[in-house]
Amino acid sequence: MSQSHKDILKLEGVSKFYRTRGNRYRRGGGTVVALSRVNLSLRPGEIFGLVGESGSGKTTAGRLVVRLEEPDEGRITLDGVDITHLKGGGLRDYRRKVQMVFQDPYQSLNPQMTIADAVAEPLITNKVGDPADRLERVLGVLDTAGLSPAEDFIYRFPHQLSGGQRQRVAIARAIVLEPSLLVADEPTSMLDASYSAQIFEILQGVRDQMGATIIFITHSMAAARYLCDRIAVIYHGHLVEQGPAEAVINSPSHPYTKALIDATPKFGRCEGVPTYGTYLPAPRPAGEQAGCPFFQRCALAERLLCSATYPEWRQVAGEQVCLCHFAAEGGQSPPPPEECRLGG
């Protein structure tokens, strides 16, 4: 926290609730907590991974950052400027700096728009350059996104491209304004594995060449390990562990992180390697609860302590912090054998 003045993006105590509407028969609506008091800070030029299972709130976090939605509590700042409740012109200026790549490339491009129009759209809405200027930038950015020769792609419609090509178009569209922050929401979950590696390389290139900070949202520990500098693990709207990608994945400390790693398929020589076994197959509780959010599904939980008291952040090693009553400095698990580690 000491170098907080250098952080590009900060989320402070950000919560987001969704109200479910009641109807005539099921009186009254409930509240679903999508994010609960999340604190995050991103350093300029890093690739930050947000890892969690389906419905853990990781996409919500991304949508809050690009302000597709407004948080119910807390504050989001970019370069020290509060953007939590920006509207109108301020929001438009903000969106010049923050762009997003969506999960499904089959859905995130307008089927009636040519590639040239789709990629140029951010330039047009932000009144950048004249048509010739914009075309040049579109061609350049398509090239950066690995679609070359770019001239062959600009007259096509999305349905004439493959999934991987569409996702490259979506990335090109997101980086055409040269944003300082890019949110990539599971950009590879709809693609073949062979495309994923290429998309990762493009994202790395965006970081290295444009100096953009990237929030990489994923459910895959291996992808996070491969691409990210730091990662945060999110469960049911709560951050539970945060730290350098290498440390969090090779020597996880939170039971949930361990469960996620257990859930990753392992092959070959690693079949005999013991798992952490921290996961209890129990249903995920629907509402908010007083104690640890992972309590019902945690094999290590002690009923009295964990069900009643919300855990505190504890430092495990260096920058690795963990939200668990049982985490202790140096208490992280030893790394598995070299050949069985995730990623590469």
Partner 1 sequence: MSVQQATLQSLKAGRRALWRQRLAENWRVFRGNLLGKIGLSLLVMFGLMAGLSYIPPLIDPMYHPMTGVDPLVVKSTGPSLTHWLGTDFMGRDILSQLLAGARVAFMVGVSAAFMSVVLGTAVGMTAGYLGKTTDTLLMRLADMIMVLPTLLVVLMLAALFGQLSIWMIVLMIALFRWPGVSRVIRAQTLSLKQRPFIDAARVAGASHTRIIFRHIMPNVLPLAFLYMTFRVTSAIVIEAGLAFLGFGDPGTVSWGMMLQWVWKTGHMFTAPYWLLPPGICISLITLSFYMLGRAMDEVLDPRLRDETQAG
Closest to partner 1 by CB, 75 or 156: 156
Does 111 interact with partner 1 (rule: CB under 8 A)? yes
Does 70 interact with partner 1 (rule: CB under 8 A)? no
Contacts of 244 by beta carbon, 8 Å cutoff, 6+ apart: 229, 230, 231, 318, 319, 320
3-state SS track over 203-233: HHHHHHHHCCEEEEEECCHHHHHHHCCEEEE
Contact segment (CB under 8 A) with partner 1 among 48-56, 88-96, 224-232, 305-313 equals 88-96
Interface residue with partner 1 among 16, 58, 95, 225 (CB under 8 A) is 95
CB contact at 8 A, 319 and 251: no
Closest approach, Cβ 201 to partner 1, in A, equals 22
Interface residue with partner 1 among 85, 92, 269, 284 (CB under 8 A) is 92
Backbone angles phi, psi at 12, to 5 degrees: -120, 110
Question: 266 is written with which tokens?
Answer: 């392992």
Does 156 interact with partner 1 (rule: CB under 8 A)? yes
Does 264 interact with partner 1 (rule: CB under 8 A)? no
Does 19 interact with partner 1 (rule: CB under 8 A)? no
| Coil vs helix vs strand at 37 | strand
Cα distance between residue 246 and residue 12, in whole Å: 25
CB contact at 8 A, 76 and 82: yes
CB contact at 8 A, 145 and 171: yes
For the chain, the C-alpha Rg in angstroms (whole number) is 21
Does 148 interact with partner 1 (rule: CB under 8 A)? no
Does 100 interact with partner 1 (rule: CB under 8 A)? yes
Interface residue with partner 1 among 70, 79, 82, 151 (CB under 8 A) is 151
Does 175 interact with partner 1 (rule: CB under 8 A)? no
CB contact at 8 A, 48 and 229: yes
Does 116 interact with partner 1 (rule: CB under 8 A)? yes
Does 280 interact with partner 1 (rule: CB under 8 A)? no
Does 109 interact with partner 1 (rule: CB under 8 A)? yes
Closest approach, Cβ 280 to partner 1, in A, equals 35
By rule CB under 8 A, what count of residues binds partner 1? 39
Cα distance between residue 142 and residue 10, in whole Å: 31
The residues that touch partner 1, with contacts defined as CB under 8 A, are 63, 66, 68, 92, 95-96, 98-100, 102-104, 107-114, 116, 121-122, 125-126, 131-133, 135-136, 139, 151, 154-157, 170, 173-174
